Amino acid sequence: MSKPDLVLPAAVVAGQAPAACAPRPLSVFDIFRVGIGPSSSHTVGPMRAAFVFARRLTEQLAAPAAPTLGRVTVDLYGSLGATGRGHATDRAVLLGLAGHKPESVSSAVVAAALPHVGQTGTTPVAGREIPFSMEDDVRFLPGTCLDYHVNGLRLTALTPAGEQIAVGTFYSVGGGFVMEEGPDGQYVALASETTRAVHAIAAPYPFSTADELLTVCERAGLGVADIVRANEEAARSATEVDAYLDHIRAVMEQCIEDGCSTQGVLPGGLNVTRRAAALRAQLTGRRGDAGASWQSGNDPLAGIDWVNLYALAVNEENAAGHRVVTAPTNGAAGVVPAVLQYYLRFVPGASDAGARRFLLAATAIGALIKTNASIAGAEVGCQGEVGSASAMAAGGLADALGGTARQVENAAEIAMEHSLGLTCDPVAGLVQIPCIERNAIAAVKAINAARMALWGDGRHAVSLDTVIETMRQTGVDMLSKYKETSLGGLAVNVVEC
């Protein structure tokens, strides 16, 4: 597959100014977002782009003497074209065009989108039903990359006679973040007026690198979570910040419960059987030796089984297209919730305040990676998704357990260092194999990284900044067939059944 010639700084891709002059780091409201599976870059981002396109189109068509809308075409480029079918990108675009947002669309609406087109030959766009064909109006173009980013999306509205009414070119750059190509050739981040207003407020403790974060923490005598909270509360009230953190936690916990309560086979054709429900039954002693061993206290590592369970449950829900929290992506959505639940259920003295610290510190790590490298599998492979999530979870857990800023940085560094080189090679373009199990492995790795860091004093040979830059360089060097195109690795060596 052809690669884009233009390689842009990750801070620009994230919608920020260059790191040196960014008014504030990325927020917890940016890093953790509620959406639907199976992919933040291939589902949530395109859905957001289509929603904005449809909203503007609605306004344009409401003007006097406006043209008549006859058709909308969808062109999916690069990685969106390569794995868009397996990642349900086409369905996500239809949902956005129909006026649905990823954070609020119901499961019933999601399930009905494609059958509606198949049965009626129409789809809702800009408040009206228009003719639509999945075969003729959606084009998957894996061999073509637009200049800005490998995840390109172009939407075109036409009159019944084929005359162009509007066109929008968008780039889904990972984690649900979307950039838009403007008429002047500039690229701007899709964001609400509220978000833009918040990002315009200078943070009291700005940082763009881990080294700067450590310096800020030491000068202020504060932990990582405290620094992030102070930055958040410069733009929002403490009540609003806490409410959002608690909401994110609640969605994560509901996702775990839903995953643990649902049996069956995941959609997509690989015939992957859900395992979380059966595993929970074993662990709670309803059947099997695992539960008996855990309850009797004979297995000192049995807690790992529960961490595995939490991660599997979330990613099975994600693979089914259900509601998850991008953390920092959907493909890696199980890691942070699994480690957070480990903290809440297995750590003596765990508290709601500790859970909030966990998410705040994890935000700092995610912001550093997003700003200085990438969290998109299509850009840097799975090291940028599951590796980033593992680093975030490790840093969050270390902070919640009372770690110093340097121990938090060390925990995140350990988790990321030992995720370097991970490829993104989903079998059949589905976020199932190896994605679901990989989240469980990364969650356990995060716990181990935090524990290793907490036994030290924060001094270590490789800095987090160094490992983030190494991850970025590794991703640049990685062949495109290993970056969410399903053209290499397991994707070509595992027989689809």
The model's pLDDT over 414-462, given as tens digits with 9 standing for 90+, comes to: 999 999 999 999 999 999 999 999 999 999 999 999 999 999 999 999 9
Q: 299: pLDDT confidence band, cut at 50, 70 and 90?
A: confident
8-state DSSP, 27? P
**pLDDT at residue 13 tops 90:** no
Q: Rg of the chain over CA atoms, in angstroms?
A: 22
Compute the mean pLDDT over every residue in the chain, rounded to the nearest whole number.
92
Q: What is the pLDDT of residues 225-264, one digit of tens each?
A: 999 999 999 999 999 999 999 999 999 999 999 999 999 9
Question: 182 vs 380, which has greater pLDDT?
Answer: 380
In this structure, what is the dihedral angle of CA atoms 89, 91, 97, 98, given to the nearest 10 degrees?
Answer: -160
Nearest of 152, 34, 181 to residue 93 by alpha carbon: 152
Percent of the chain's residues with pLDDT above 70: 93
pTM of the predicted model as reported, rounded to 2 decimal places = 0.91
Tell me the percentage of the chain whose pLDDT exceeds 90: 86
The reported pLDDT for the residue numbered 192 is 75
Neighbours of 116 (CB within 10 A): 18
Give the model's confidence band at 482: pLDDT under 50 very low, under 70 low, under 90 confident, else very high.
Answer: very high
Task: Give the model's pLDDT for residue 24.
Answer: 80
| Residue 25 three-state SS | coil
How confident is residue 404, by pLDDT bands cut at 50, 70 and 90?
very high
CA distance 23 to 195: 13
Q: Is the pLDDT of residue 42 over 80?
A: yes
At residue 293, the pLDDT reads: 52
pLDDT at 497 > cutoff 60: no
Name the residue with tokens 């949530």: 44
Candidates 136, 139, 113, 137; CA nearest to 124 is: 113
Instruction: Decide: 211 and 218 in contact? Cβ < 8 Å.
Output: no
Q: Which of 167, 211, 214 minimizes the C-alpha distance to 71?
A: 167
Per-residue pLDDT, 4: 35
Ramachandran category for residue 459: left, alpha or beta (phi over 0 → left; psi -120 to 50 → alpha): beta
Contact 444, 388 (CB under 8 A): no
Mean pLDDT for 16-39 is 76
Element (H, E) at 156: strand 151-158
207-482 folds as 2-methylcitrate dehydratase PrpD (1.10.4100)
Contacts of 10 (CB under 8 A, 6+ apart): 370, 371, 372, 373, 374, 472
DSSP bridge pairs for 172: 178
CATH, range 9-18+28-194: 3.30.1330.90
Round to whole Å and give the CA distance between 295 and 196.
Answer: 51
pLDDT at position 388 is 99
Q: Write the CA distances from 6 to 77, 150, 155, 178, integer angstroms.
A: 15, 10, 22, 17
5 pLDDT higher than 50? no
Tokens 């924060």 locate to: 458
Q: How confident is the model at residue 496 (pLDDT cuts 50, 70, 90)?
A: low
Whether residue 495 has pLDDT greater than 90? no
Q: Work out the average pLDDT over 29-38.
A: 96
Model confidence at 297, in pLDDT bands (50, 70, 90)? low
- Predicted pLDDT of residue 253: 98
Tokens coding 496? 């689809």
Whole-number Å distance between alpha carbons of 201 and 213: 19
Checking if the pLDDT of 265 tops 60, the result is: yes
The ranges assigned to domains in the chain are 9-18+28-194, 207-482
Please tell me whether residue 171 adopts helix, strand or coil conformation.
Answer: strand
Q: How far apart are CA 340 and CA 396, in angstroms?
A: 8
pLDDT band at 8 (very low <50, low <70, confident <90, very high): very low
Bridge partner residues of 36 (DSSP): 323
- Region 271-292: what's the mean pLDDT? 80
User: Mean pLDDT, to the nearest integer, of 317-335?
Assistant: 98
